[in-house]
Amino acid sequence: MIQFAWPWAFALLPLPYLIYRLAPPALASEEAALWVPQLERFDVASHQTNRQRSRWKIALAILCWLLLITACARPQWLGEPLNLPVSGRDLVLAVDLSGSMKVEDFSLNGHQVDRLTALKSVAIPFIERRIGDRLGLILFGEQAYLQAPLSFDRQTIARLLDEAAIGLAGERTAIGDAIGLVLKRAENDARQQVMILLTDGANTAGALDPLKAAELAMRKGLKIYTIGIGSEQLEVQSFLFSRTINPSTDLDEAALTQIAESTGGRYFRARDRQEMEDIYALLDRLEPTEKQKNTYRPVTALFPWPLGGTLVGVVLLLIHAALPSLRRSS
């Protein structure tokens, strides 16, 4: 069906007539006139032709005005209603992009890769199979940024995560600000959301303390699942010999555990890619949040059609007005 977004625009239809009736007439001294002693030489047929042309111009001008007002009223075509998912989860992924994520302590297809690359290899398929869920993406380093608000568009969320780069948000880690950003965006709907926070370190930046942010999340009902990323053993080759180090010494597992448990979530430890896959498999079984049934009707804008007709009419009027001059010049 067709509807008009701004139907009040049709109230402007009588405007040209009102201007014609109410505007003061032009002064006789300002009118062009040709004084002749007699009228015998004037062709009556030419007067009839001019009268017909004048009527044609008036009709075309009226048509242009009708089309212009119709375009201003914004006609729209409403498609068939589509049912949106009646159940699902609102999941916000908060991904750490601090400098420590570049440590290459994960193995992917037989190659050593950095932590962010390993995370993407597991998180992107996780996003793509969340049919019926609304997903959001937050990237944080020294500051937290909302990369994508909650949306059913899984492909866009996956692409934005794939395009994320280490150091994009700064070298340090602001875990508390990432949680605070989710709470700020959630407003009164925090109880309908689940946050999955992935980091490999401790809070070293930001204005909001992570434990204080977790307390606020608990009050608003936001459930947080935290994932600590990083291997506990890494072979480092020196000039003479190799040695084994723990690249995850900066990971604050106690704080991440407290954040998760205080909000009703869980803390997970991902030491390798397989553990990360197992964690996402567990997250896949989160209880869905029931929602009211919603319908969506696709809307197609139709205003270009009457607007295009208006432009065609204006061009015809300009051509018609220019014809007498062209004829005289020829």
pLDDT tens digits for range 24-47:
766 555 555 555 555 555 455 555
Cβ neighbours, 10 Å, residue 63? 15
Query: Within the chain, which residue ranges are assigned CATH 3.40.50.410?
Result: 87-290
Phi, psi of 235 (to 5 degrees): -80, 125
CB 58 within 8 A of CB 50: no
pLDDT, tens digit, for every residue of 164-217? 999 888 889 999 999 999 998 875 555 678 899 999 888 888 889 999 999 999
The structure tokens listed for 318 are: 């300009």
The mean per-residue pLDDT over the stretch 79-100 comes to 80
- 171 burial via Cβ count (<10 Å: 0-12, 13-18, 19+): middle
Query: Is the pLDDT score of 138 beyond 90?
Result: yes
Cβ neighbours, 10 Å, residue 165? 11
- What pLDDT score does 198 carry? 93
The structure tokens listed for 64 are: 């242009």
The structure tokens listed for 159 are: 């692409």
Query: How many angstroms separate the CA atoms of 253 and 258, rounded?
Result: 8
DSSP string, 273-317: HHHHHHHHHHHTTPPPEE----EE--EEE-THHHHHHHHHHHHHH
Cβ neighbours, 10 Å, residue 70? 21
pLDDT, tens digit, for every residue of 251-276? 889 999 999 999 999 999 988 888 88
| CATH number corresponding to 87-290 | 3.40.50.410
Mean pLDDT of the chain: 81
Beta strand spans in 109-154 (E): 111-113, 134-140, 144-151
C-alpha 288 chain-centroid distance: 24
Q: Model confidence at 50, in pLDDT bands (50, 70, 90)?
A: low
Query: How many angstroms separate the CA atoms of 180 and 206, rounded?
Result: 10
Q: Model confidence at 292, in pLDDT bands (50, 70, 90)?
A: low
Planar angle of CA 139, 142, 144, nearest 5 degrees: 35
CB 139 within 8 A of CB 164: yes
- What pLDDT score does 97 carry? 92
Choose among 183, 201, 202, 203: nearest CA to 193.
183
- What pLDDT score does 212 carry? 94
- 127 burial via Cβ count (<10 Å: 0-12, 13-18, 19+): buried
Choice among 7-16, 130-139, 287-296, 307-316 with the minimum mean pLDDT: 287-296
Query: Is the pLDDT score of 119 beyond 60?
Result: yes
CB 196 within 8 A of CB 94: yes
